[in-house]
Amino acid sequence: MKREHFFRERLRAIRKVRGLTGKGLAILMNVPPSTISHFESGRRSPSFKNLLRLSDALVINIDYLVARTDNQHCAGKMWQKLYATLQNISLEDLEVLANFSEKLVEINLQKKSCHINK
């Protein structure tokens, strides 16, 4: 499978995991909605600037989007902000944060399950 195909599929999948429509992603990136449609259909490839915007908006590793790795972890703005914040949190608070994060995942999975069953 070509990288272009992986890009389209990964972009669509990660957008949906984040709970975004094409229009919602376009708003976050400050681009027209047709831009997202073009990327997901393969009619156009993103510029370097738009790859950075995608990475920031989706909080995803660019290398994952372009199929150079299967590692989704990101070093974008959101991860940098989280990492900087975590440096000043006690171990006890980190545990609370980890538990809260797990609860958020459960809630999101329940929401998706409800949407699927409608």
CA-CA distance, 44 to 27, in Å (whole number)?
18
Same-domain pairing of 92 and 57: no
Same domain, 14 and 59: yes
In a domain, 57, yes or no: yes
> 8 pLDDT exceeds 90?
yes
Please indicate, yes or no, whether residues 59 and 100 belong to a single structural domain of this protein: no
- Checking if the pLDDT of 89 tops 80, the result is yes
Q: Is residue 74 part of a domain?
A: no
Q: Span 87-91, mean pLDDT?
A: 81
Predicted confidence at residue 118, as pLDDT, reads 56
How many domains, in total, are found in the chain? Answer: 2
Are 66 and 57 a contacting pair, CB within 8 Å?
no
Is the pLDDT score of 75 beyond 70?
no
Shared domain check, 15 and 54: yes
Mean pLDDT across 16-37: 94
Regarding whether 11 and 51 lie in a shared domain, the answer is yes
- Averaged pLDDT for residues 50-71: 87
Full domain range(s) for residue 112: 88-116
Give the span between the Cα atoms of 84 and 102, in whole angstroms.
Answer: 21
Look at 75 and 32; give whichever has higher pLDDT: 32
Q: Are residues 17 and 52 in the same domain?
A: yes
Residue 108 lies in a domain: yes
